[in-house]
Structures are given as C-alpha cells and as structure tokens.
Amino acid sequence: MNWFKALFNKQEEKPLEIDLNSLENWFNEQTIEKINDFKKDIRNCFSVIETKITDLKTNLKLLEQTEIKDNIEQRIKLTVMGNKEAYVRQAQLFSEQIKIPADISYESSLEYCSNFEEKLNILNEKTAKNHHIIEQLIGEEINKVVINIKESFDLVKEIKTKLEDKKITIIKNCQKNIKEFRENININEKAKNKIKETKIKKVEKEIFRKEIIKKISSLENSNEYKNLKDLKEQKEELIKEITNTETQINQIFIPLERVFKKFQNMNKVQLVEQYLNSPLTTFSQDSNLKILDYLKEMEELINKNKIEIKEDKKKEKVLKTLKSLNKSKLENISNQYSSLKLKSGTIKSKIVSDNLTEKFMFLNNRLNKVEKEMEELDEKIETIEEIEEKTDIEEKKKQIENLIQNILNQKIEINQNKDLIKPFN
C-alpha cells in the first residue's frame, strides 16, 4: 500500500518562475530547435522555387523565339503569334512578381504564399484564351512554361502547409502573445501614471477654484458690494418707472395719430411730423412744449369741422383728450421723465465707474475657465480608465502560461515585478 500513500503525498509540480523581461528570450531558446527545423524546410522549398523561376524565365525566352511552320496559313500564324506575345509578356511579368523574399521568416513566407496565389490567379485570368490558341501550334514549348509554374505553385502549397502546421502556429501565436503582453503592461502602467498625473492636476485646479470662490465671497460681503447692489436695485426700479412714464406718453399721443395726420396734411408742420414719427423721442426733446399750440389749433379745427371726425362719440373723445392736455399736465410728465432719465444716467455712471463689477467679471471668468478645465480633466481620466480596463493583464498572463505549458509541457509562472519590467521597444 506504500505506492498508494505516495500517490497522495506526492507534491504538485512547482511552476518555473520566469521574469517577464527574460520570458521572450527564454521561450525562443526553448523553441529554437523546432523553429530552425521549420526555417530549414522553408528555405529548401524557396531554393527549389528559385530554380523553377530561373527555368521559367529560360523557357519563356525559348517560347518567345519559337517560330511557326511555314505551311500554316498566314492569318492563323499571325493570330497565334499575337497571342504568344501577349502570353509571354504576362508570364514574364508574373516571374518578376514572385521573387523570393530577401529575409525568409514565418511572416514573409506567409505573405509570399498569399502574393503568389494572387498573381497566379491574375495570370490565369489574363492568359487563359492566349494559352488555348497557342497550344494548338506551339504545344511543347508552352507546356514547359506551364509545368514550371505548376511545380512552383506545388512548392508554394507545400510551404503553406508547413506554415499552417499546428506546432509552428502555436509557437508563433505564443510569441505574438508575449509581445502583446509586454505592450499591454506598458500601456497599463502608462495609463495609471497618466491618471495619477491628471488627478494631481485636478486637485491643483480644485484648490485654485476654492481660492477664487473665497475671493468672490469676500467681495460679496464687502461694503462696496452692498453699495453696488443698492445701485443696481435703484437702477432696476428707475427702469420700471421710466417704462411706465414712456407708456403714459405713448398713450397720450398714439390715440391722436389720425388727428395729427389730418392736421399735417393741411399745415405741413415739422414738429407735428416728428410727433407722428416718434412721439416719445420728440416729446422728450420738446422742452418748451410747443406742441400745446398745435393741440389747441387742432381742437379749434375739429370744432369747426375742418378736421372731420365722422362718429360723434369718437369726436367727443378726441376733444376731451385735447382739452385735458394742458400745460401743467404735460410739464409734470415731461419733468418727471427728464428727472428719471437723469437719475438713471447718474446711477449707470456710478455702476460703470465702480471697478468692483470688473473684479466680479474677472473672477467669474476665471472660475468658469477653471471649472471647464476640471470637466476636461474628468473626461480625460474617464478615457484613460477605459483604456486601462481594456488591457486585461491577468487574463493575458494566464493565456500565455497555458500556451507555454501546452507547447513545452512545462508549468511556468510569469513574474510581473513592476520594478523589473523594462519598457517594450
């Protein structure tokens, strides 16, 4: 039963701890034999392809120089020769487009296979008709070219099969994941540092914002501010009184508009014309109230029916209004309006000359600017945090550890010590 106890007492295999900075080199060393064997096979295939391309170029020259027998009808001969030239031209272009890559690697080989297939499809599409016509009379020469291309393509398919070999694919996938892992860690660390920097800036902005609010509050509690506030309240009250007085003036003259027009048609008086166009402005400028003379004259003309008002009720109402507009009434309204405008102008001057308003504007503008900058910093932090969330470090780490275990049959644990991680180049 000792073997049974030993089975349970056997300790689990301890993972091999590998520092992230060494991981890529360590993995490459462990897989170098397989990769070298793979590269050797690929290079051998490319070497044969290179020979086939040389043979292809030689056979194309032979095809180009091939003549058609004299006993063939001239029209057919010309047709075949024209198609032969077109075929050779396209095939020569193809031979130049499938040159072997200078640096043979997994990636360049994969790209070469894809490019070869693409160019071969184009060649087939452009020369199918040419080939059919040529092979009737120059079959042997063109078949040598076709065999060269086919043998090259068979070798490309062989390379592609080797590239798709599961063992090589997994190794390449693991190498790619290791690089991405390093990149993700650096992105993550940069994001954390950026968030930290941005939050410090936000704290600085918040301190500055509080200082501005404190200054604004200090101004609001000052006697200067109280005086300014009183002036603004007085200004608002005066605006209301001025508006009421202007309404009163308009209510005097606007109902008399038709009478003014009829009078103006008869007499052509400039002052009456001005009252018609702008009663409020004209009244405020008519300091001697010359309009009273014309109002009296209008009243007389209405009584004499020289200014005709057809309806008796309207006529009575107009006459009543005209009689009510005596010098005392209009002077009171004029003086009141002038006084209000003067007071309003004086208060406006005091408000404008008070630099407290400018101080408030300056501080409020600075406050708005700082608050906007703080909002922008919040948006920046949110964006960086989204980037950080997308880089799932732990998940990527486990993925690599599992991949390596499957490839090498070796449990490992990646050490992510931040102080040891070097920037990824």
DSSP state of 420: T
Give the model's confidence band at 419: pLDDT under 50 very low, under 70 low, under 90 confident, else very high. very low
> In Å, how far are 57, 197, 370, 386 from 192, measured between CA atoms?
59, 9, 24, 11
Spatial CA neighbour of 416 closest among 138, 184, 254: 184
Amino acid code (one letter) for 290: K
Spatial CA neighbour of 149 closest among 127, 166, 173: 127
Q: How many residues does the chain have?
A: 425
The answer, yes or no, to whether residue 12 has pLDDT greater than 70, is no
Record the tokens describing residue 223, joined without a space.
């006697």
Name residue, tokens 């490309």.
Answer: 156
Out of 9-13, 215-219, 363-367, give the one with best mean pLDDT: 363-367
Amino acid code (one letter) for 190: K
Give the model's confidence band at 381: pLDDT under 50 very low, under 70 low, under 90 confident, else very high. confident
Element (DSSP H or E) covering residue 397: helix 393-408
pLDDT tens, residue by residue, 272-285 = 899 888 988 998 89
* Cα distance between residue 60 and residue 95, in whole Å: 10
Average pLDDT over residues 160-165: 84
Cα angle for residues 77, 83, 88 (degrees, 5° grid): 120
Pairwise pLDDT comparison (352 vs 339), residue with the higher score: 339
Task: Please check whether residue 116 is in contact with residue 98, taking contact to mean a CB–CB distance below 8 angstroms.
Answer: yes
CB atoms within 10 A of CB 238: 20
Provide the whole-model pTM: 0.47
Average pLDDT, the chain: 85
Q: What is the pLDDT of residue 421?
A: 43
Name residue, tokens 């989204």.
Answer: 386
Q: List, in sequence order, every residue forming a beta bridge with 414; answer none if it has no partner.
A: 18
Q: What is the pLDDT of residue 396?
A: 82
The answer, yes or no, to whether residue 355 has pLDDT greater than 80, is no
The answer, yes or no, to whether residue 1 has pLDDT greater than 80, is no
pLDDT tens, residue by residue, 170-206 = 888 888 888 888 888 888 888 888 889 989 999 999 9
The answer, yes or no, to whether residue 417 has pLDDT greater than 80, is no
Spatial CA neighbour of 305 closest among 266, 272, 349, 274: 266
Rounded (10°) CA dihedral 61, 64, 68, 70: -100
